[in-house]
Amino acid sequence: MKKVALKSGALLLSLALAASTAHAADPAFPKAPSGNVTLEVWSWVPGLDKTVAAFTKQYPNISVKILNLGGGPQTYTKLTTAIKAGSGAPDVAQVEYGFLPAFADTGGIVDLSKYGANDYKKYFVPWTWGQVSPDGQGVYAIPQDTGPFAMVYRQDILKKYGVAVPKTWDEYAKAAAAVNAKSKGAVKLGNFYSTFAPWFMALAWADGGQFFKRDGDGWVQTLNNSSSKKVLNYWYSMIKKGDVSTVIAFSADYWNAAGAGKIATNMEAAWGPGGYAGSLKDKSAGLWRVAPIPQWTAGGKVASGNWGGSSNVVTTQSKNPEAATLFALWLNLSTPAITANWNNGGLFPASDAGLGLSALDDKSKNPSKFFGGQNISAVYAQASRGVNVNFQWAPWFPFVNDNFNKQMDKMLKGQLTPDQALDAWQAESLAEAKKGGFTVK
């Protein structure tokens, strides 16, 4: 079975120069097939049925059936089963970038380059296209949404303790110590997410960290790379001092602490602010703001990483791959679809034009309304421009993702140092990859 490397190839670097020029108009989409067509789409995007209504109005001969299985894990389990069985798969499925290589490796999804997908790469932010296309040739999905990193913070809490918005990680550590001391431990400046590998990897990504790299017919895995060690040791030092917390992400405990002003900042993906607005509602509404994540070196271009985001694949079981490709392109490049995806589902665009969409700038609606009327999308658009294009995922990432939790738990219990935790993460994940038949070192 062909092992597919999904990465941001060097060929895409030339596209970075065009990143600041948005395409104002929708592109010309592929011609719709003749005759009546029915597509089944698996997606957990809220309100996608409303978006589809606009598609079927434009393409009345194509009907779309949306099936929401409840999120990524549920979708992946059923999709994997269907691919192995050779039947039961949808025409289009939503897959997160980090899990895309595992599905590409099964041979169960279509290389969309045969249907002209490469003609549309110029419409996407370069790093997002790199997530779905190996060296800009084969195309295994269409980018849908992204999660570039920025820092959310309580403006009132920072003001209360006389702390400026940190622009560097050195300033952040000093601010964390100051808030902890002045509040006598009642308030923590930040929070470390110990059960979400992509959160940690995004911070290392922002420093140029590389975790997986295609090497000929094999792979090189470096989970314990220098950026990983820098980032983890930095946060562990603050954890040991009690300057930051380790509350589980998305838990009731976290939202209660954030709403009550017990946690003053966090590093969040572009889809994160919607979670604050939805979970906290009136609690601390208007008190939050967004700024670029702190940088390791002051000045220069803002560097960022990405957490989450997803794509749309077309399965080899689809009887209408041309129509499915058309739908995936329209869903992520047409102005009505991008606008609806943002308004109904909070999806931060992967398209170049989407970053300049007026709907993202509406300060009267959440999440900007919750964040004091700030144009937070402008901050996240800047972050998206600063994401390193040369970042790759590997097919065995699902194991890597789960194993991270194990090693962080041991580290927080004092059983492992940060370096030992990363080395164990590397060793156990490497063994699993080799066990799965991959040539990796």
> Which of the four pLDDT bands, split at 50, 70 and 90, describes residue 1?
very low
- Six-digit token string for 141: 């999905």
- Tracing tokens 């395409």 back to the chain, one arrives at 23
Q: Is the pLDDT of residue 2 over 60?
A: no
Distance (Å, whole) CA 65 – CA 90: 10
DSSP codes of every residue in 175-209: HHHHHHHHTTTS-BSEE--TT-HHHHHHHHHHTT-
- Six-digit token string for 168: 């560097």
Q: What Cα–Cα distance (Å) separates residue 383 from each residue in 46, 183, 197, 231?
A: 24, 31, 20, 18
pLDDT of residue 346: 84
Torsion of CA 80, 83, 85, 86, to 10 degrees: 170
What 66-72 contacts at long range (C-beta under 8 Å, 24+ apart), as own/partner pairs, is 66/41, 67/40, 67/41, 67/42, 67/43, 68/42, 68/43, 68/44, 69/42, 69/44, 70/44, 71/44, 72/44, 72/96, 72/99, 72/310
Counted residue by residue, the chain has a size of 441
| DSSP at 370 | T
| DSSP at 292 | P
Q: Is 387 exposed, middle or buried (0-12, 13-18, 19+ CB in 10 A)?
A: buried
In sequence order, the 6+-apart residues with CB closer than 8 A to the CB of 381 are 355, 356, 360
DSSP codes of every residue in 106-153: HT-B--GGGGTGGGGGGGB-HHHHHHH-GGGT----EEEEEEEEEEEE
- Convert the pLDDT of each residue in 135-155 to its tens digit: 778 999 999 999 999 999 999
Give pTM, 2 decimals: 0.88
- Convert the pLDDT of each residue in 24-52 to its tens digit: 469 999 999 999 999 999 999 988 988 99
- Convert the pLDDT of each residue in 361-393 to its tens digit: 899 998 999 999 999 999 999 999 999 888 989
Beta strands in 248-399 (DSSP E): 265-269, 288-291, 306-314, 348-349
> What structural domains does the chain harbor?
10-146+308-369 (3.40.190.10), 148-304+391-435 (3.40.190.10)
- Convert the pLDDT of each residue in 254-271 to its tens digit: 999 999 999 999 999 999
> Which of the four pLDDT bands, split at 50, 70 and 90, describes residue 301?
confident
Name the residue among 422, 148, 153, 406 with its Cα closest to residue 265. 153
Identify the residue with better confidence: 376 or 343: 376
Are 313 and 95 in contact, with CB atoms under 8 Å apart?
A: yes
Name the packing angle between helices 335-345 and 321-333 (round to 10°).
Answer: 70
Mean pLDDT of the chain: 92
Distance (Å, whole) CA 393 – CA 2: 16
